[in-house]
Structure 1
Amino acid sequence: MTSYFRPSVDAIAGYVPGEQPKPGTPIIKLNTNENPYPPSPAAMEVLRTLDSEWLRRYPDPFANEFRQAASDALGVPADWMIVGNGSDDLLNVIIRTCAELGRKVVYPTPTYVLYQTLTEVQVAEPVEVPYGDDYALPIEELVAADGAVTLIATPNSPSGHSVSIANLRELAARLSGVLVIDEAYVDFADQTALPLVKEFNNVIITRTLSKGYSLAGLRLGFGIANPTLLSGLFKVKDSYNIDAIACAIGAAAMRDQSYKNRCAERVKSSRSTLFSALKNLGFGLWESQANFLLTQPPTGNAEQRYLALKEKGILVRYFNRSGLSDKLRITIGTDEQNQQLVETLMHLV
């Protein structure tokens, strides 16, 4: 049968998102790292008072209301920001802008598998540099790979570990291409690499409102970098990639930092409790700076545990990939959800 697609598209497997049950399905969903708590009341009030004029007109192509709110919250000039339809949109824009056939996109693995998909769609060369068991950043190997784009997720998924600022600074100084620091989970971490965008013209930090701000369904993310680096990205992004509703709701959420921080602290506290409970059940665990835990069942039968939990109405994430096939990634839920997970696992041992 004749294919209608580019050979590179035929060749790739494509990114497979976590399972999304229909709304109202009676299930404990701990598989896609959503925040278990609702969005800011201030954000919900914007939705309740929606002006139809926002729908009639095209939105601001630069999402300036959101950029100003983020600027006020983070202390970064608004013109150092680019806003996207989730941080995935911005990762796509960065790779489309900087990579092509004959150029490399480099990242340590295991990490966010979308990096590979976006690279292959662009017909660039993905270069995967393995992490060691201690998840120390393989700086020498990353520099030697000489990527047009180098991607570092910190905190990383699925491991949950953070990369030190010192290591990121050394990497940025030695790379000839763009360094993308993916901080999707930074709201649950103890550090941020944000100061590096002022130190290096080749560094961009990407963030999302999906995790810390409980707005995964809104699809809103942003990047922070020197305006010189952003200038190329603005040429490639869609003109109206952020709708007016997302911009207004996101701005309200960004202004309510105290609410976001309270929810993040609750998640961090629950993370510690769940870590201890799973350790008592014999699970192998890695210290996490994100809103999930990477776990290794005591008997190594991760896929069977995933399927058994699914039958009991609990979704966790199983990756049938090298280095991960004996592990599960578990999102931090409410204390009640986490306790039900633990009790279910006790009866599966």
Structure 2
Amino acid sequence: MLTAIQDALVASIPLEADWSLPHDFSSVITAHQCQLTFIVNPHAPSGRLIDQETLRMLASEIDGILVIDEAYVDFVSDEAHDLTQLAVNSDNIVLLRTLSKGYGLAGLRVGYGIGPEHLIEPMLHKTRDSYNLDAISQQLAEVALADQAYAKSVWERVRLSRTDLCRDLQALGLQVFASESNFLLATVPPECPLSAKALYEGLKARHILVRYFSHDRLQDKLRITVGTDQENAHLRHHLAALMQREAVSTPT
């Protein structure tokens, strides 16, 4: 919508089959003379993480600004994966972060950017709307950010549960992409009696919500958010029953 308002052109570059960047990504960006390049890292919906060195090289190879959406970065296993200093000391990298995912505050719509001063400072005056963030949201965000011990404990529980859920889904015969987010992307095998869409609908009928996408590359896949251990077990039970075409009654 914003690009349409500015009458700007959008060039979409498909990722590889494993959701990695294509080897000629920077050259394609240059050929299109892109002024802004957006990358989601970890990627959605696959959860794949692009390493710091790859992003540093990419930023050095393109002429415009590299914007890295880090909405899911709190769930990355390697805590050493921190692009803050890379962005601050760069000429053309801006990180976007949100409290909607790792802090569970999606209703507040609070986020922030990190980058070199010459890129961040103009945003405070040229692109900010009037009354863009209310005082209550600001105060709640400050409290959430202050309690890092609690936040980190939640993220670690998600990582552990993610590993267990990945193993359980693989045991059911699903192909699961390695994820550094709070969700897993699972491919439904051709031999499964139900399609990904049918599984999605079957789970929904049992009050279990996962994501199904009709995009060509995602039609045989489900994106499954990592829940509590009890929720994950509930999902596994009903998913197994659906894949085996067994009738299951939903527990009350």
Q: TM-score, normalized by length of structure 1? A: 0.64
2:43 maps to 1:156: yes
Structure 2 Cα separation of the partners of residues 278 and 120 of structure 1 = 41
Q: Check 1:120–1:295 CA distance in 2 against 1; reply closer, same or farther (3 A cut).
A: farther
Q: Give the letter aligned to residue 226 of structure 1.
A: P
RMSD: 1.5
Of structures 1 and 2, the one with the larger relative CO (CA 8 A, separation 6+) is 1
- Aligned pairs (5 A) from 1:83-102: none
Q: Contact 2:185 / 2:222 at 8 angstroms: preserved in 1?
A: yes
**Other-structure match for 1:180:** 67
Structure 2: unaligned runs, 5 residues or longer: 244-252
Aligned equivalents of 1:125, 1:322: Cα separation in 2 = 23
- Deviation at 1:130? 1.0
- Please state how far the C-alpha of 1:283 moved relative to its aligned partner: 0.5
Unaligned runs of 5+ in 1: 1-116
Per-residue deviation at 1:121?
A: 4.8
Match of 1:271 in 2: 162
Contact 1:137 1:167 in 2 (8 A): no
After superposition, the C-alpha distances for 1:140-181 in whole angstroms (9 at most, x for unaligned) are: 333433311100111010010000111100111122111101
Q: Is the 8 A contact 1:120 1:126 kept in 2?
A: no
Structure 2 length-normalised TM: 0.88
Match of residue 3 from structure 2: 119
Which aligned runs of 4 or more in structure 1 are off by greater than 6 angstroms?
none
Q: 1:294 to 1:122 in 2, by over 3 A?
A: farther
User: In the alignment, residue 107 of structure 2 is paired with which amino acid?
Assistant: G
Q: What corresponds to 1:308 in structure 2? A: 202
Q: How does 1:132-147 map to 2 (within 5 A)?
A: 132-138=16-22, 139-140=25-26, 141-147=28-34
Partner of 1:100: none
Worse-matched range after superposition: 125-134 or 154-163? 125-134
SS in 2 for 1:184: coil
1:92 alignment counterpart: none
Match 2:116 to one of 223, 226, 230: 226
2:249 corresponds to which residue? none
* Matched pairs, number: 233
1:280-337 Cα shifts (integer Å, max 9, x gaps): 0000110000000011112371111111110110111111112111111111110100
Aligned equivalent of 2:53, options 166, 178, 192: 166
What is the alpha-carbon distance in structure 2 between the residues aligned to residue 199 and residue 233 of structure 1?
A: 18
